[in-house]
Amino acid sequence: MKIIGHLINGAIVTDGTRTQDVFNPSTGEVAKQVALAGKATVEEAIAAAQAAFPAWRNTPPLKRARVMYRFKQLLEEHAEEICRLIGEEHGKIAHDAMGELQRGIENVAYACGVPELLKGEHSKNVGPAIDSWSEFQPLGVVAGITPFNFPAMVPLWMYPMAIACGNCFVLKPSERDPGSTLFIAQLLMEAGLPAGVINVVNGDKEAVDTLLDDPRVQAVSFVGSTPVAEYIYARASANGKRCQALGGAKNHAILLPDADMDNAVNALTGAAFGSSGERCMALSVAVAVGDAAAEAFIEKMKAQMQSLKVGAFNDKRNDFGPVITRAHLDKVVGYIDSAEAQGAEIVVDGRHPSVPGFDNGFFVGGTLIDRVTPDMLCYREEIFGPVLLVVRVQTMQQAMDLIDAHEYGNGTCIFTRDGEAARYFSDNIQVGMVGINVPLPVPVAYHSFGGWKRSLFGDLYAYGPDAVRFYTRRKTITQRWPSAGVREGVQFAFPS
């Protein structure tokens, strides 16, 4: 059986100690295994990165960018192969995998602009004939730890910019679907990156803790669930590192009575069920303002969901695929059960769908639940499945209070035609990414991604301009050239 190894110092290796099964979620079968790196293997990757750093940091940004241009080209040329790998291990349909990859490529494109992005600030004459400027220098070895749900995109949020800035990188992707991630990193090597600048180690907590504790690792980027994000942030920080840790979400859409309801239903269908809801930006709660809005929405959504197709990744007619594991399938179904038990109304029931020919696949169908209340388990926690909850409120303020009271603050949106409502909402809501008639307000690659409250720990966000700052360290130089023969008076006071 194929074993997915690590990429260390330019070569694919396995350390031969431990492995773990990788499932095809559409069939439920195990077709590959992934090597799990022990501490020594991770340290080897860190050492390779450390060794590659001096030459790479001295490579002019323009030349570092040229590698990224070639990488972008290779990603475009191998897009289908990447999407197939994603589908096999994650289960998402090709059109969705292509969307993910495209977003990832846009991050590579942004990293191509690194010569512009690294510009420092230059000040002439901060004092008489004294100049001062800032440089943004690379940190050295930096690490990324990424989740299963976007095996191509989330790593591409991190290392293209980190590397373009002059750092060397150790990536620990999800061990559940590591194939596409590794393949993409190999394309980057093919694009001309020197050995050791990018390293990929597959693994579990042992690998993670090694990255968090090793003093050579200067910074850690993480995307995953909130409890793990908190752990990562606390441990990396206790070790004196800089850290950005992105966690969970519970994204609400407010439906105002003046919303274009057909538009809202269309938008939410993709946002709630696309990729089986396994997105940190999935729209999982619709908050209808007024019962009329609620009923109009539910009626239209119910109708729309008739044509929703769940099925295997390799049939493009499907709208979405399986969830990642059987355990996760059980968890999602458990949330639906609990909603029913706690008095919510299951409008469309996606439990135990029939997917002919894929009886062992990890499928949950699109599910719509009305009359959910904030105390229910299904509301309080992130389901990460194709389940859309409807909460009914009577005023826009109630809807906003609900959102602000939730522990997560990743994304949210509002459907309305009214300029004033949209502005008030976007100004005041305690959420980091806000959509106005846009259900998945993921910032484009030239902005930055980050939630508020317990959805993000740290002060700089993922990708975009913030990534440049996260992956570099400011150095400020103050320069004065002495004129010959001119003696200066002693300065005891702090210069003013």
Q: What residues are annotated to the active site?
A: 280
Contacts for 13-20: CB closer than 8 Å, 24+ residues apart? 13/41, 15/40, 15/41, 20/175, 20/204
Q: How far is the CB of 459 from its own copies (least distance, A)?
A: 4
Residues 65-84, interacting with its own copies (CB under 8 A):
65, 69, 72-73
CA atoms within 13 A on the CB side of 32: 19
First to last CA, the chain: 70
- Using CB under 8 A as the binding rule, whether residue 1 contacts its own copies is answered as no
Measuring CA to CA, which residue among 342, 334, 319 is closest to residue 272? 319
373 is an interface residue for its own copies by CB under 8 A: no
Closer residue to its own copies in complex, CB, 8/421: 421
Nearer of residues 118 and 344 to its own copies, judged by Cβ: 118
Tell me, by CB under 8 A, how many residues bind its own copies.
129
Taking the C-alpha atoms of residue 162 and residue 110, their distance in angstroms, rounded to an integer, is 12
Task: Say how far apart CA 141 and CA 298 lie, in whole Å.
Answer: 51
- Report, in angstroms and rounded to the nearest whole number, the Rg of the chain calculated over CA atoms: 25
Using CB under 8 A, which residues numbered 95 to 154 contact its own copies?
95-96, 98-100, 102-103, 106, 109-110, 112-113, 115-135, 137
Build a one-symbol-per-residue string for 226-265: x at contacts with its own copies by CB under 8 A, - elsewhere. ----x--xx--xx-x-xx----------------x-xx--
Q: Which long-range contacts (CB under 8 A, 24 or more apart) does 377-380 make?
A: 377/335, 377/338, 377/339, 377/342, 378/335, 378/336, 378/338, 378/339, 378/342, 378/344, 379/250, 379/285
Does the protein bind its own copies through residue 426 (CB under 8 A)?
yes
Stretch that binds its own copies, among 170-178, 343-351, 394-402, 488-496 (CB under 8 A): 488-496
Task: Single out the residue of 248, 348, 334 nearest to residue 306, CA to CA.
Answer: 348
CB 67 within 8 A of CB 116: no
Residue choice 178, 248, 274, 277 for contact with its own copies (CB under 8 A): 274
Read off the tokens for 446.
């030239």
Q: Which CB atom, from 188 or from 339, has the smaller least distance to its own copies?
A: 188
Task: Report in angstroms how near the CB of residue 368 gets to its own copies at its nearest.
Answer: 15
Residues 457-476 close enough to bind its own copies by CB under 8 A: 457-461, 465-466, 469-470, 473-476
- Of 10-18, 41-49, 268-276, 348-356, the segment contacting its own copies by CB under 8 A is 268-276
Dist. CA 480–CA 477, nearest whole Å: 10
Work out which of 1, 356, 405, 481 binds its own copies, going by CB under 8 A.
Answer: 481
| Cα angle 222, 225, 230; round to 5 | 65
DSSP, collapsed to helix, strand or coil, labels residue 427 as helix
Decide whether 17 or 263 has the Cβ nearer to its own copies: 263
Regarding 11 and contact with its own copies (CB under 8 A), the answer is no
188 contacts 108 by C-beta, under 8 angstroms: no
Q: Which of residues 398-417 bind its own copies (CB under 8 A)?
A: 416-417
Tokens read off for 427:
């100004």
Taking the complex as a whole, the smallest distance from the CB of residue 104 to its own copies amounts, in Å, to 10
Closest separation in Å from C-beta 399 to its own copies: 17
Enumerate residues 286-325 that contact its own copies by CB under 8 A.
304, 319-320
Instruction: Indicate which single residue of 2, 11, 55, 60 sits in contact with its own copies (rule: CB under 8 A).
Output: 60
Compute the least distance from the CB of residue 6 to its own copies, in Å.
28
